[in-house]
Amino acid sequence: MNDKYHETATSNQAGLQINLIKRTYVLPWSQFLFAEGDADEIRIAFSTHDVVITGGKLDAMLPEIADQRVTLLKEPGRAEYFASFSGLHITNISIKKAE
């Protein structure tokens, strides 16, 4: 488990909480449409919002997203942008209303 993303052992959690530096979102998994991506970027589409996560080794999160086991994503603080990472890490999270 990473301090920027948390998963549970069971599937089908009620929602995904996303903590940005200035705002928090809670999106219900019942509105999850799909996820796509690779090691550097993942897009999670809900019926109301699109979430784009950038970082490294993010493809390891896709199975947990597919099982709806991810419960929390945290945007890193400014100091963490310059840190060196070897494993899964999030550098940015952006959320936009779906069109």
Predicted pLDDT of residue 83: 58
- pLDDT, tens digit only, all 99 positions of the chain: 455 566 665 656 799 999 999 999 999 999 999 999 999 999 999 999 999 999 999 999 999 999 999 999 999 886 555 556 678 899 999 999 998
Percent helix, strand, coil in the chain, to 5, is 15, 50, 35
pTM: 0.83
d(CA 93, CA 41): 10
